[in-house]
Structure 1
Amino acid sequence: MDSSTLIFLAFLAAVVAPTLWVIAKGGVGNAVTDVADEIVFDVQYAEVDAAMADLLGTARRVQLRMVLPGTYTVTYKRTPGWAIVVAIFGFPVGLLALFLGTVRYQLVLSVTPEGGATRVRVVGRVHRKFAEAIGKALWARFAGSIASR
């Protein structure tokens, strides 16, 4: 074997194999959580529905789609830091890490009237920080109006 073949094989062993292993394991420090929550607010449906659309419609890099009246899907993509590092140091083959490492997350939010109150259901699999941000925003907006049911 000549030296260029050895260098290429060393590159494969050092960059590509660990990258594939990390992808198979779900990423480094992957803080993904399954969300299945619901809460009832003592607020009219129209106010909560408008707040949800306003809150999620202004988020960066988030695609908001109304599936049915009162039902939204929130989709976003995230490329982990390890994929970016592998892409830089493993160029050009390392660019595969950008494509293989990008993860798509999705939440389904439904807002339904319930008497004079409104029920909000959130279901999906998302990055923990994103779920916490949505929860904090809803809490800040409607904290005083949580129904005791």
Structure 2
Amino acid sequence: MPTPDFILDLRRFVGTRPLPLVGVTAVVVRDGNVLLGRRSDNGHLTPVTGIVDPGEEPADAAARETLEEAGVVCRVERLAWVHQIPRVTYPNGDQSDYLDLVFRCSWVSGEPYPADGEMTEVGWYDARSLPELELPDMRRRIEYALRDEAVARFEGGR
């Protein structure tokens, strides 16, 4: 997965030190199914995820990433969960702290396919019998997005 130019620019100043970033997870729903893809970088099955570009609205980022990665147009319905992901250290030593915003989205059009190479396969999975997901918080992201709650969940608040 190519690193966005704005992150490469920031890395010139901060080196490998932790970089705070905002990420999005788009849980796209269609007729009781959830859109999942197998990531090309680590082979994990996940909903669509991505980084919010500078000045971009997070909901717009979720819709953009869904189209870019899976070739699917979606409508962002609501924010489902806000949480901090444990620090990520990449093989090159770069560290990132992601604040992840999980959005429930609905399918509008398009049949899923690995559009930009960030995923090796993409498809619809029955939300009631999801396969095992390698990253435990991915299941929580999906569960929170599928709930019929009008409010978003937040971690912490101590």
TM category, shorter: under 0.3
- Over alpha carbons, which structure has the higher Rg? 1
Normalised by the size of structure 1, how large is the TM-score?
Answer: 0.23
Normalised by the size of structure 2, how large is the TM-score?
Answer: 0.22
Higher helix proportion (structure 1 or 2):
1
Higher strand proportion (structure 1 or 2):
2
